[in-house]
A and B are shown apart, each in its own frame.
Chain A
Amino acid sequence: MEIAFVIEKFVFITVIFALSLLVAMYSTLAERKIAAFLQDRVGPNRAGPGGMFQPLADGVKMFLKEEIIPTESNKFLFIAGPSLAILTACIGSAVIPWGQDIQLFGRTIALQATDINVGILYIFGVVSLGVYGIMIGGWASNNKFSLMGAIRAASQNISYEIPMGLSIIALLLVTNSLSLKDIVEQQHGFQWNVFYQPLGFLIFLVCAFAETNRTPFDLPECETELVGGYHTEYSSMKLGFFLFAEYINMFVSSAVMATLYFGGYNYPGMDFMNNLLGPTFGPLLGMGVLFIKIFAFIFFFMWVRWTIPRFRYDQLMNLGWKVLIPLAIANIVLTGIVTALVNGF
């Protein structure tokens, strides 16, 4: 392996990592601003122009707060919980293709950290690992509210992983590939998967809300019943990691949804624009388009959060097991029949 390739990958991964942290950081500001606008308020506006430096101020505050580890807690796991949560949130973006191959400094660079041929399975693995951070943190706190939150998180994530996986199976029947790069390339131009899999997309979207613990599925941290849920006992930056992991998760799942169903970096008329802008700026424009899609999804996440109230626990389970799973299976059967008809005749 040549040294230039290693440097190239290192720089790219660093940039993507920094970018996802930056997006997550400003998501916290965006959340507060959007919440304010939806409620006829103006939101944070004192730190810098329009509240630009609010995330920095929040971060500094989190770092300077007193760190409390409960005496009766399991110290190792108590620290491992938030670390695991933020780790699994960060590694999810490794397989997402951010753009077409780009010509830079006379080299062709793939805008993807790694194109493994089971990219979707990797994403699934990482997403299901994400619940361990919450479970371990909630259990190690040695607090009943935390434990309740952790149990809820675990059962919720297990319930909603099933319809999510089933909706992906229907998508795979259409794409015939597990590699995210292949899936994006197939959606060239405007042949986005959402037009072939609208029901699958809807199921995936609902499950993504549940997997990221966002309202209306934020039962693990439900303030009205469980104080703070799994992070009741957490303070300082360990709490910050839990909250931050949620925003990174949101960013990654928005990127996954944009990649799987909304064409990733594809947009109508992209061949024309690529010819016009050349091999350096064309892919960059594609990357910009992908980010617009991601931001649209993040806005959607927040919009839903400040509109829809939280589910009751039995409603959550009913929706997962009695509605989404049968729907996802029906979607697989339908997709299979249609694919067989189209390919066979």
Chain B
Amino acid sequence: MEALSNRKKVLEQKPMNFWERMYLPAIFKGMAITFRHMFKPKETVFYPEVQREFSENWRGMHSLKRDEEGRERCTACGLCALSCPAEAITMVAAERKKGEEALYREEKYAATYEINMLRCIFCGLCEEACPKEAIYLDGPIVPADYLRKDFIYGKDKLVEKPLTELTK
């Protein structure tokens, strides 16, 4: 058959000579290679002590953001829960009372906001859906735990620390 491109290479398969058929030279060659690897620098990253740098588009644990005055941005519109393909997000909305203006930016806020980390697939659709730029998946790896109920993260784990605590 005529070749369509000139990239085709015909490989010639020669029968092995006696030296090659003994396999011993090839075995010694291979063993020399593995022996050399004993002295090479190790690739291991000692995980809990040393952490590898995440890439820029890494999606890790969620965090609920605050605005520049330290108020929670989330207005409990539910778009994130709606967009979530794994149905991992639930929330209960509440109305902002008088005197709470320093805590919540909008008139409605999330009284509880829970993400089930066992359901979450870290697709980032909640991040895309959010009209208030309130949720981002910019955290570290979600740590392991023993009980299923401990994987349902509430506001205590998700909401960013207040500015005052960060500057302290």
Chain A residues at the B interface, C-beta cutoff of 8 Å: 34, 37-42, 303-304, 306-308
Do A40 and B40 touch (CB < 8 A)? yes
Q: State the majority secondary structure of interface residues on A.
A: loop
Residues of B within 8 A of A40 (CB): 37, 40-43
Do B31 and A303 touch (CB < 8 A)? yes
Of all chain A residues, the one with the shortest Cβ separation from B42 is: A42
Ranked 4 nearest A-B pairs via Cβ: A307-B34, A37-B38, A38-B34, A42-B44
Beyond the given A38-B35, A308-B27, please list 14 additional residue pairs across the A-B interface where CB-CB is below 8 A.
A34-B38, A37-B37, A38-B38, A39-B37, A40-B42, A41-B43, A42-B44, A303-B31, A303-B34, A303-B35, A304-B31, A306-B34, A307-B34, A308-B31
Cα(A37)–Cα(B30), bound, Å: 15
Do B27 and A41 touch (CB < 8 A)? no
Do A308 and B42 touch (CB < 8 A)? no
Of all chain A residues, the one with the shortest Cβ separation from B40 is: A40
Do A307 and B30 touch (CB < 8 A)? yes
Residues of A within 8 A of B31 (CB): 303-304, 307-308
Cα(A308)–Cα(B34), bound, Å: 10
Residues of B within 8 A of A37 (CB): 37-38
Chain A nearest CB from B39 CB (Å) reads 8
Chain B nearest CB from A125 CB (Å) reads 31
Residues of B within 8 A of A42 (CB): 42, 44
Do A41 and B30 touch (CB < 8 A)? no
Residues of A within 8 A of B42 (CB): 40-42
Enumerate 7 A-B pairs (CB-CB under 8 Å) in ascending A order: A37-B37, A42-B42, A303-B31, A303-B35, A306-B34, A307-B33, A308-B31
Residues of B within 8 A of A306 (CB): 34
Of all chain A residues, the one with the shortest Cβ separation from B28 is: A307
Of all chain A residues, the one with the shortest Cβ separation from B35 is: A303
Chain A nearest CB from B42 CB (Å) reads 5
Do A38 and B37 touch (CB < 8 A)? yes
Cα(A308)–Cα(B27), bound, Å: 7
Cα(A140)–Cα(B38), bound, Å: 41
